[in-house]
Structure 1
């Protein structure tokens, strides 16, 4: 631990980088759910019903009407000129056609360059339009002396009753921050571990380390593992005990099960990093490979796009990253509050990565044995 603390790069990895990056990420998604999306309205009908529809839009927490379009405005230019993400077009004779029981359409233009905003506007537009349509039918039947409370079964004969399991608030901070925080934690651990031995060779401090460990490579391996594990657990505790409460992110599952899974992920990444550090004695090459291997972890994990929908080459690569399997188990505990025995498939897969890591370590010990066992090298030269 003392040797790690003396390395400026390691201090930056475990202290400076997390403080800056984690809280910047937290501030980006601190708003949580998207509200008051700027939209424009083109009311060509200007009737009582069209104004009622606009009031429904204004009352929705999703939308904020920032611009009203006139006949002189070109709709395709409004998105850029007025900085809106959606346009609602109410056609002429809207109210008249409704009274004549002629089907009419509300046209909704969405800026789907941001697919999140596009889907949100579309979903909210459907909800508001259905609500207004139901109100029109109820108002039409009211003069007939029918109790409005008994009309709902006629207006909407089939209802959908949804129960959201996992992030029922549709909060982006609950969704993105945990995954991003853990993938950054993994990258920090892997990068630090990939410098464990080649840094010693580069700085000519390996002989000192070798003597301190009494010539035991196992002592060096597990001593460095224990030190990195303690630093990583401190970083994990900072995320779970400080970042999550500060941003109000709930943990629905068992915290002990979650901690055990995180320790397993950290352990796998430490030993994979050790293997890289022992195989490639040039620190820069090991770092490049560590970054190349870990950088796409978030994209390939299925967090932003389902793995089953990816091309086979991409989905195969996704299975070769420990974070992919960790994330599945993490979401089961963190969001779905499932018992720990449901994550055994993910645990076994992470243990396979552990075996691969030890295989890499053995390969590294074999390739660089003259550097790793300096006493034997000196004895050979003496003879």
Structure 2
């Protein structure tokens, strides 16, 4: 049996290297996808976003605020405007993403400790950039405004510690963990590549059984496996698993060092979870391939099944905020538990003991799909023999 599995394994590798439907998807496309995603997010984080200033105060304090805003990482002052209509027009034309309005009474109100309203107009059609601008703008305005009041109190003779307790009665320090600079490349690229690899693995696995009939090679397969579907599926699974490992090395040891400042995103927990993902995806594809004889129909099913994986996985929007049927559909894809474990082992650097739930889910895919594929494909292998007898 081991010899037969080895023969199927070698035969499948030859098919991977010679059949365009295999090598284009498994060897060419992963490299292209990695380069495209890494290049798109090569800037890593949004910075120097165009912002306008509507300054009615025209005072040293408003100019100081403007200078401090320009010094932040995300804000770049590109325009001076005089009314709301200009802000609206520039935002509609894409010239700016936000604008800040300093009222005419800015200095007077701050120094007299009266409430001051500094208005931020942000284009929330781009949620990430608007939140980044708000974060930096709020930090500058609150810090600088408090500093002005603090200086005034100290000049009146009040001790600095007492003045600080009055200006900032509650001192809040925020500590952003795991992606402190909101790095697009560090956050989005690994997830996008993982979901692309899931789609590629499943789409090729969908062809590993029914494509044998289309190419007329099923008799050769029967002879090498001695008519055993389990031998066929085991040999083919091992071949495609090693191909998945090749792509893993491509991503973690080639693409990331080139595009992520030398970071090799590789560790044992991540490799273990990726291996489970690959085995589960191959099992899903083989099950479809065993059930559906028509290659085109099988590919359509694969596309329908894998296409929404990124949306439903919870990568960009939490699953608990989705309707129950969307949450249910998300659990039908191996990428969903892998993503949950990916956040733990890649971003948070946690050991595998924190991923027992996700490991169980991926193992469930494996123990369901492979027996179904073996049983159905065995029946199809036996049919010609029964008809011949």
TM-based fold match above 0.5: yes
Aligned partner of 1:236 in structure 2 is: 248
Deviation per residue, 1:227-266 (Å, 9 max, x gap)? 1111111011111111222222787998112111111110
Q: Give the C-alpha shift of residue 94 in structure 1.
A: 1.9
Output aligned runs, 1:1-383, within 5 Å: 1-71=13-83, 74-81=86-93, 83-148=95-160, 151-248=163-260, 255-362=267-374, 364-365=376-377, 369=379, 371-373=380-382, 375-380=384-389
Superposition TM-score, scaled by structure 2 size: 0.91
Kept in 2, the 8 Å contact 1:275–1:357? The answer is yes
Contact 1:44–1:89 under 8 Å retained in 2? yes
* Pair 1:148–1:248, CA change in 2 (3 A): farther
Shift of 1:102: 2.4
* TM-score, normalised relative to structure 1: 0.92
2:10 is aligned to none
Q: Provide structure 1 residue ranges, at least 5 long, that are not aligned to the other structure.
A: none
Report if the CA contact (8 A) 1:190-1:273 is conserved. yes
**1: distance between equivalents of 2:208 and 2:266?**
33
Asked if the contact 2:340–2:358 (Cα under 8 Å) also holds between the matched residues in 1, the reply is yes
Deviation at 1:81, TM superposition (A): 3.5
Contact 1:174 1:249 (C-alpha < 8 Å) held by counterparts: no
Inter-CA distance 352–71: structure 2 relative to 1 (3 Å threshold): closer
SS at match of 1:74: helix
Counterpart in the other structure of 2:9: none
State the SS of the aligned residue for 2:43.
coil
For residue 364 of structure 1, report the CA deviation from its aligned partner.
2.7
Q: Is the 8 A contact 1:252 1:334 kept in 2?
A: no
Distance in 2 separating the partners of 1:163 and 1:252: 25
Alignment coverage as a number of residue pairs: 377
Q: Structure 2: give runs of 5+ residues left out of the alignment.
A: 1-12
Report 1 or 2 for greater relative contact order, CA contacts < 8 Å, sequence distance ≥ 6.
2
